[in-house]
Structure 1
Amino acid sequence: MKTLRRFSQNRFFSHLRISAAVTFVAAAAVSAIASFTADPEARLTNDDPALSGYTSDYTLVTGIPYT
């Protein structure tokens, strides 16, 4: 019985098959991570009403608020 061509030890197709598998696994991982949504109830520290809302970078660095 002859060995099928797709099972032959052709180095090019072996590398191509491994590269394709790695690409598909990476694409699956990226799509799985991208499918998760952030918690909409999470608040940023600059959204805290006790801190009077947004504080600019200039004010944080210099301590002098600008208008």
Structure 2
Amino acid sequence: MNDKIEITPVLIESLIFTFRDEQVMLDRDLAEIYQVEVKRLNKQVKRNIERFPNVFKFQLTDK
């Protein structure tokens, strides 16, 4: 996590996937960009859930 990475538009575009006709970024990629652990990123989302409308997030399940 301590390795500095250069954030470029090309990098961001390479981390965007189309899933169920929606453009998405994975939590692991966002965590890398923000240089935090994935569990810390997810914890902050849960703590500040009102700042993340449902259209901004979803979690995959086994179903």
The TM-score with structure 1 as length reference comes to 0.22
Higher relative contact order (CA 8 A, sep 6+): 2
Larger radius of gyration: 1
